[in-house]
Amino acid sequence: MVNQRTRGVLALVVASALAIAACGGSSDTAPSSAATAGVATTAATAGVATTEPGGVLAGVCPEKVVIQTDWNPQAEHGGVYELVGDGYTVDADQKRVRGPLVAGGKDTGVDIEIRMGGPAIGFKPVGAYLYENTDIMLGYANTDGIVQRYASLPTLSVMAGLEINPQIIMWDPSTYPQVRTIADLKATGTKVRTFEGIAFMQYLVQSGVLDKAQVDGSYDGTPGVFVAQQGKIAQQGFASAEPYIYRNEVKNWGRDVAYQLIYDTGWQPYAQSLVIRSAERDKLAPCLKKLVPVIQQAQVDFLNNPARTDKLILDLVKRYNTGWVYSQGVADYAVTQMRKLGIVGNGPNQTLGDHDEVRVAEFIKKALPVYQQAGGKVKDDLKPSDIVTNGFIDPSIKL
């Protein structure tokens, strides 16, 4: 799962480069309720909570629903952290938070445990990590990672967490005023720095958007080279983070960058999808039918009122104390960008969290040659129904 891992490495080394130490305690299972006070209940949220009697998940879901994220707590994970109710406990050593699983502030009758990814799991792809830790029910995976590993470690996406992948290529608009898109960089011959072997760069070269000679796989995630080159190179990043960080938190830069989403070049995996081990679909179906709509609505509630959950996220960053730097400013910016750019959105049929199977089929056609050329073992006859399902989605839930 190249995208998630590279995002993790990027964020960690950028944080180190900014030389800001994360603060906070490291005591185990420190309880907190202040950070979860004041859960907002919207009319839509109340609808989810009141369609069933109290304890909507009790008896059909495990007593503890475990979700594995792909990185340190951040606003892009807001939809699942929205589910953590009042009185949560934090295990700072294991990098986990546990509390009652709530829907619109109402207890569903089971607990939720959210586990940190990235450095906490040795930077392993979550889709593979699920097979090493079978107590995890749901994990984050991108469509490209699902395709890449399906032949050996099959996973099924039950909800598309992000409608649009926030990965970007960015450049200095003052150095390249004529550049409006990634394709425009081709004529300039500009070096484009990314992590080595990243799938979308292989796609950009194969599709002719960029020349192979432009690809520079030496990117280490820090802003140092970009700054030292005074913007004469381009590099990868995330629309929900780097534009804010470079303008406000990289002191030797301190100005805007221009960028285009990789999504807009035609490479369109779903990002941060919630996946299960494929063989467990029937076993988990009764729970997923009730749980997935709760998660859908939590994503809506977070985007509409992120303050309470952002406070929880920042509290966890402080307690986990991994060196990851995450400010309120970045969190606010991420929420704004997720709405502005449709990173979280309803999709073409006005439903949040479902999968467009035509889009998935088109992505599979593009992705298979990329992975085959790279020497990967992939399932040649892979179908959208192998890797995604809308069977647990409530189509009435939308932003």
Q: Is 111 helix (H, G, I), strand (E, B) or coil?
A: strand
pTM for this predicted structure: 0.83
Q: What pLDDT does 9 receive?
A: 39
Measured distance CA(35)–CA(313) in Å, rounded: 9
Beta-carbon contacts of residue 16 (< 8 Å; ≥ 6 apart): 222, 323
Query: SS3 helix, strand, coil % of the chain, rounded to 5?
Result: 40, 15, 45
Q: Could you tell me which residues come within 8 angstroms of residue 34 by beta carbon, excluding any fewer than 6 positions away?
A: none
* Residue spans in the chain of domains classed CATH 3.40.190.10: 22-162+269-387, 167-265
Diameter over CA atoms, the chain: 62
Residue by residue, pLDDT tens for the chain (399 residues) are: 333 333 443 444 344 333 333 333 333 334 443 333 333 333 333 334 333 434 899 999 999 999 999 999 999 999 999 999 999 999 999 999 999 999 998 999 999 999 999 999 998 999 999 999 999 999 999 999 999 999 999 999 999 999 999 999 999 999 999 999 999 999 999 999 998 878 899 899 989 999 999 999 998 878 999 999 999 999 999 999 999 999 999 999 999 999 999 999 999 999 999 999 999 999 999 999 999 999 999 999 999 999 999 999 999 999 999 988 899 999 999 999 999 999 999 988 999 999 999 999 999 999 998 888 877 788 889 999 999 999 999 999 999
* Strand 273-277 with 138-141, pairing: antiparallel
Q: What digits encode the pLDDT tens for the residues 287-336?
A: 999 999 999 999 999 999 999 999 999 999 999 999 888 999 999 999 99
- In terms of Cβ atoms closer than 10 Å to its own Cβ (0-12, 13-18, 19+), residue 274 is buried
pLDDT for 138 equals 98
Instruction: List, in sequence order, every beta strand (DSSP E) within 190-286.
Output: 192-193, 215-216, 234-238, 258-261, 273-277
Out of 3.40.190.10, 3.40.50.880, 3.40.50.2000, 3.40.50.720, select the CATH number for domain 22-162+269-387: 3.40.190.10
How far apart are the C-alpha atoms of 7 and 305, rounded to whole Å?
Answer: 25
Helices within the chain (DSSP H only): 2-18, 43-50, 78-81, 126-129, 143-149, 184-188, 199-206, 224-228, 242-248, 281-304, 307-320, 328-340, 357-373, 384-387
State both tokens at 371.
């992975």
Residue pair 147/75 in contact by the 8 Å Cβ criterion: no
Instruction: Give the dihedral sign, CA 355/236/96/102.
Output: negative
Is residue 155 within 8 Å of 387, Cβ to Cβ? yes
The Cα–Cα gap between 139 and 155 comes to 9
* CATH architecture for segment(s) 167-265: 3-Layer(aba) Sandwich (3.40)
The string of pLDDT tens digits covering residues 341-371 is 999 999 889 999 999 999 999 999 999 988 8
Q: What is the DSSP string of 289-358?
A: HHHHHHHHHHHHHHHH--HHHHHHHHHHHHHH-SS----HHHHHHHHHHHHHTTSS--TTTT-TT---HH
CB atoms within 10 A of CB 149: 22
Measured N-to-C along each axis, helices 43-50 and 281-304 cross at an angle, to the nearest 10 degrees, of 150
Nearest one of 221, 189, 273 to 17, comparing CA atoms: 221
Tokens standing for residue 309 = 């959950």
Give CA–CA dist 34/48, Å, rounded.
25
- Cα–Cα distance measured from residue 385 to residue 387, given in angstroms and rounded to the nearest whole number: 6
What the block records as the tokens of 94 is 């294991």
Query: According to the model, what pLDDT value does residue 162 have?
Result: 96
Q: What is the pLDDT of residue 41?
A: 33
Tokens of 124: 């392993």
